[in-house]
């Protein structure tokens, strides 16, 4: 298996955690996003969006982190990353999608670069990214307020935690006061205590800068 990613990519971070939890190894291939390596012709041939991550396995090129994680969960079911009960599965997916679909995409490198192209000063670009993170994390805080934890949904990590930990890292990078989200921080602490999460951290990757 090959994982095309970048150390600071939160979507790649999610997949690294999933691989670690499943006890799976992959050859890590780095594409430096700030240098535009993800737009090279040979990479666009396997991922037409020019995004990371892409996983190459079973003779296929798989894109989009949540799709990759669910594929890993279906092909390597232990430990499970989604609850068995349908309603709880839906709630876990909804939480993950708040981050992966509605928060992360509007504060990622591509959007911030476009804001700069449109003439926004750097402080306004940072304000935008911080706002996007605060809005998304505030919703997530409410979604799991009644969950005992210690993880987002119960006593084992799910795809919700795989999305949460990288997003909190993003929020801090943009100056968000994450102390406003105590329930999320409880889940983050439980996750970071696991080797699978710690080993997936950006600063521990070979391409870390």
Q: What is the pLDDT of residues 140-154, one digit of tens each?
A: 999 999 999 999 999
Confidence label for 11 from pLDDT (cuts 50, 70 and 90): very high
Long-range contacts at 165-168 (CB < 8 A, ≥ 24 apart): 165/13, 165/17, 165/191, 165/192, 165/197, 166/10, 166/11, 166/13, 166/14, 167/10, 167/99, 167/103, 167/104, 167/133, 167/136, 167/137, 168/137
Could you say which of 1.20.1050.10, 1.10.150.80, 1.10.357.10, 1.25.40.10 is the CATH number of the domain covering 86-196? 1.20.1050.10
* Whether 129 contacts 174, CB under 8 Å: yes
Same fold, 2-79 and 86-196: no
- CATH topology assigned to domain 2-79: Glutaredoxin (3.40.30)
The mean pLDDT value for 72-81 works out to 98
Q: Which residue is associated with the tokens 């979604």?
A: 143
Give CA–CA dist 78/8, Å, rounded: 27
Confidence label for 171 from pLDDT (cuts 50, 70 and 90): very high
Q: Cα angle vertex 71, ends 65, 73, to 5°?
A: 105
Whole-model pTM over 0.85? yes
**Residue boundaries of the structural domains of the chain:** 2-79, 86-196
């Amino acid at each position: 298996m090959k994982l095309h990613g970048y150390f600071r990519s939160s979507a790649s971070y999610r997949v690294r955690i999933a691989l670690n939890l499943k006890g799976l190894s992959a050859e890590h291939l780095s594409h430096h996003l700030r240098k535009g390596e993800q737009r090279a012709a040979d990479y666009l041939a396997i991922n037409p969006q020019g995004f990371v991550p892409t996983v190459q396995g079973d003779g296929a090129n798989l894109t989009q982190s949540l799709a990759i994680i669910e594929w890993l969960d279906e092909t390597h079911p232990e430990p499970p990353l989604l609850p068995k009960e349908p309603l709880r599965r839906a709630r876990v997916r909804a939480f993950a999608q708040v981050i992966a679909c509605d928060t992360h995409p509007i504060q990622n490198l591509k959007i911030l670069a476009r804001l700069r192209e449109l003439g926004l000063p750097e402080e306004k670009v940072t304000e935008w990214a911080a706002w996007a993170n605060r809005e998304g994390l505030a919703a997530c805080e409410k979604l799991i307020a009644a969950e005992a934890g210690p993880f987002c949904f119960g006593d084992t990590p799910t795809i919700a935690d795989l999305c949460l930990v990288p997003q909190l890292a993003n929020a801090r990078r943009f100056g968000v006061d994450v102390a406003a989200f105590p329930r999320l921080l409880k889940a983050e602490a439980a996750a970071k205590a696991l080797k699978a999460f710690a080993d997936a951290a950006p600063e521990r990757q070979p391409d870390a800068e």
